[in-house]
Amino acid sequence: MSSPVAGRLKGWPGWLLLAVVVVVALAFGAGRAGGPRTNQDRVDAITKRIKCPVCRSESVFESKASASENIRAEVARLVATGETDDQVLATIDRSFPGQGLLLVPPKSGLASLVWILPVVAFVIGVFGLGFAFWRWRHGTVAPPTDDDRAVVAAALRGGDPATGPSDADDA
């Protein structure tokens, strides 16, 4: 028979491994480069986030259409004047009203729900599963009643619990 302490220690290596993986992932994500360093890198990064106004399924960065080339030139001009990436994206979005050229929604306002809701749903799901597993492991399920036992006994005899034993049992 195992002691209560041994039962509690049995699951700790898995939790430790999970904690290590989370810490490594957070350290890797936080340690990444802060963003593009040169103006051309910034222009490339910004134009990858803008949809071509005349093409299907292409960004301004990929497209060879003249409209995309004009947008790339405007982005380069705005970057050279010292505007931030968000300011450049806002200017381009205002230049083409109603077309929704931004491939990545903004991280503020109502559009921020696009970023937040999946994370919230994931966290709620993880906690819900954890709670369900905890209840299952700690036996908080109700014990079977006499009616439950009668149903099982009738099923083992081959009868229907509602009507009693089958006719085959009488033969």
Residue 55, domain CATH = 1.10.8
Domain boundary among 51, 79, 104: 104
Find which of 3-7, 32-36, 50-54 is predicted with most confidence, using mean pLDDT. 50-54
Longest dimension (CA), the chain: 97
Instruction: Give residue 66's Cα distance to chain centre.
Output: 37
More confident: 158 or 5: 158
- Which H/E stretch holds residue 123? helix 113-137
Q: Say what the pLDDT of residue 122 is.
A: 95
More confident: 102 or 44: 44
Instruction: Look at residue 33 and tell me if it is in a domain.
Output: no
Q: How many CB atoms lie within 10 A of CB 66?
A: 9
Query: Cα-flanking dihedrals φ and ψ of residue 50, to 5°?
Result: -115, 135
Instruction: Look at residue 18 and tell me if it is in a domain.
Output: no
Same-domain pairing of 91 and 135: no
Domain that holds residue 111: 105-140
Same-domain pairing of 76 and 118: no
Q: What is the CA radius of gyration of the chain?
A: 31
Domain count, the chain: 2
Find which of 2-11, 70-79, 138-147, 156-165 is predicted with most confidence, using mean pLDDT. 70-79
Of 155, 61, 60, the closest CA to residue 101 belongs to 60
Indicate whether 171 pLDDT > 50: no
Instruction: Look at residue 120 and tell me if it is in a domain.
Output: yes
More confident: 99 or 170: 99
Indicate whether 20 pLDDT > 90: no
